[in-house]
Chains A and B, each alone.
Chain A
Amino acid sequence: MQCPEALRTQAYFDGEVDAVSAAAIELHLESCAQCRELLQDLQRTRTVLRRDLTDFRASPALRARIDGALDQESSAPTRRRPPAGRTRWRTPAFWMGAMSGMGASAVAAALVVVFLTPLLSHPLVDDLVSAHMRSLMPTHLIDVASTDKHTVKPWFAGHADVSPVVADFSEQGYRLVGGRVDYLDHQRAAVVVYQHGAHLINVFSWAANGSYMPTSTTRDGYHLLFWRTGDLEHCAVSDTGWDELQGLVRLLKNLSSHDQPN
């Protein structure tokens, strides 16, 4: 029989849990020989794999072959894009950008500017609305799908810069659906997703950076409700009614004013 905490122990080993969960797992390890052994096995496996598994490298011939194929591609008459846009792809600068995530957010920001921004609006509001709209597409709703806050909350530790309040308020009509990470104004935000009736509510949390926080507003049919707790700023976005949105925010505020139970 495997210890039911085995997966959490593995997540701990892989650095996928937050400090609070890590402390809980360390406590568990003190009393569970099976998980202690698992931890040793995991470490041993990793050491051996990283040390002894053959480190395959692409041969110079393959490198040259791909280079040639890409050259051919960029000069082919059937290309679907002008070459200027293509060559950029192969410059280190582009990849640096892509790797840092800025490439994608820059593209997103550009789209927001072109399609969504009415004059003189707060850029954060647009970011939030477009993030909310993106989230309504089935493939982008959630990175971690769970109704269990003990699954959702630790997930954020490895993926977001902030640790948001996560709770299931099913009894009050707000069902926890999951979580994900989004970029807002070049900053990573933790997003907790709730379902209220047929409506989805995205609750964004990010580290306050001293810049002016927009006031609650309505944009494109979506309500945005902003508030602050400690050094975090939050915004709940939904097309549900104001009262319903405020109901959830009240529950979250209550929870964060106490120690969050774990």
Chain B
Amino acid sequence: MPHLDAAYRFARWLARSPGDADDAVQEAFLRAYRSFDALRGSDAKAWLLTIVRNCSSTAFRGEQRRAFVPLPEDEAQVDGAAMIATTPDPETAAIRRDEERTLDRLMTSLSAEHREVLVLREIEDMDYREIATVTNLPIGTVMSRLARARAALKASWLQEIEAKPHAVP
């Protein structure tokens, strides 16, 4: 199944819970499967993520805009264990785990609109055109929204540092 992880990552950052993300991805793959004829253009990944986004539309409704992605407790433990096993310095690994959790929390505090453009650009490494396709926005809006999203993440990061001066990386 091509792009399954990308679809899941994207869904996960839009969904209210891991279960919702699972459902959205499954629904997206079924829709993609049924509408194979609708595959246009050059980028199957952007096309698939567009469908994932449509299936995750609860993230964009009313008060659920600031939908919360629950902190990935289970994954953090698994990842952490793996990291300790491969990192000579357990202390570094612990700090890294801390930063991961902080960053995840900061991301979830952003609006879904900001979160999605950040994930598409920085994690999925999509260009403006692809992001415009997935989010159904004009390129100009993608540019300005991306700028605002990055500024918002930086601002909440600074706030975090102010609140916990000892946590400065």
Residues of A within 8 A of B (CB): 6-7, 10-11, 14-16, 41-42, 45-46, 48-50, 52-59, 62-63, 65-67, 69-70, 73-74, 80-81, 85-86, 89-90, 92, 95, 98-101, 103-104, 143-146, 151, 155, 158-159, 183
B129 neighbours in A (Cβ, 8 Å): 143, 158-159
Quick check: A85 and B36 within 8 Å, CB to CB?
yes
Given known pairs A56-B8, A58-B8, the reply for A10 and B43 (CB within 8 Å) is: no
Quick check: B44 and A69 within 8 Å, CB to CB?
no
A80 neighbours in B (Cβ, 8 Å): 34
Pick from A74, A104, A143, A144: contact of B39, CB under 8 Å: A104
Quick check: A11 and B143 within 8 Å, CB to CB?
yes
Given known pairs A45-B154, A63-B1, the reply for A95 and B44 (CB within 8 Å) is: yes
Quick check: A101 and B33 within 8 Å, CB to CB?
no
Quick check: B122 and A50 within 8 Å, CB to CB?
yes
Quick check: A70 and B122 within 8 Å, CB to CB?
no
In this complex, how many residues of chain B approach chain A with their Cβ under 8 Å: the count is 53
A38 CA to B34 CA in the complex, in Å?
Answer: 44
B154 neighbours in A (Cβ, 8 Å): 41, 45
Whether B81 is near chain A, meaning CB under 8 Å from some CB there, is no
Pick from B22, B30, B45, B96: contact of A62, CB under 8 Å: B22
Given known pairs A52-B96, A66-B4, A143-B139, the reply for A101 and B128 (CB within 8 Å) is: no
Of chain B, the residue at the smallest CB distance from A62 is: B22
Of chain A, the residue at the smallest CB distance from B40 is: A104
Quick check: B76 and A7 within 8 Å, CB to CB?
no
A-B contact pairs, 5 of them (CB 8 A): A49-B153, A56-B9, A58-B8, A99-B45, A103-B44
How far, in Å, is B60 (CB) from chain A's closest CB? 19
Of chain B, the residue at the smallest CB distance from A42 is: B150
Whether B162 is near chain A, meaning CB under 8 Å from some CB there, is no
Quick check: B79 and A54 within 8 Å, CB to CB?
yes
Of chain B, the residue at the smallest CB distance from A67 is: B1
Pick from B2, B30, B75, B122: contact of A45, CB under 8 Å: B122
B132 neighbours in A (Cβ, 8 Å): 143
How far, in Å, is B64 (CB) from chain A's closest CB? 20
A100 neighbours in B (Cβ, 8 Å): 42
A48 CA to B44 CA in the complex, in Å?
Answer: 28
Whether B114 is near chain A, meaning CB under 8 Å from some CB there, is no
A143 neighbours in B (Cβ, 8 Å): 129, 132, 139
How far, in Å, is A37 (CB) from chain B's closest CB? 11
Pick from A54, A89, A101, A151: contact of B100, CB under 8 Å: A54
Of chain A, the residue at the smallest CB distance from B169 is: A48
How far, in Å, is B112 (CB) from chain A's closest CB? 16
Q: Shortest 5 CB-CB distances between A and B: which pairs?
A: A101-B42, A58-B8, A98-B44, A56-B12, A95-B2
Of chain B, the residue at the smallest CB distance from A180 is: B129
A144 neighbours in B (Cβ, 8 Å): 139
Of chain B, the residue at the smallest CB distance from A65 is: B26
Of chain A, the residue at the smallest CB distance from B125 is: A50
Given known pairs A14-B121, A66-B29, A70-B33, the reply for A52 and B4 (CB within 8 Å) is: no
Whether B5 is near chain A, meaning CB under 8 Å from some CB there, is yes
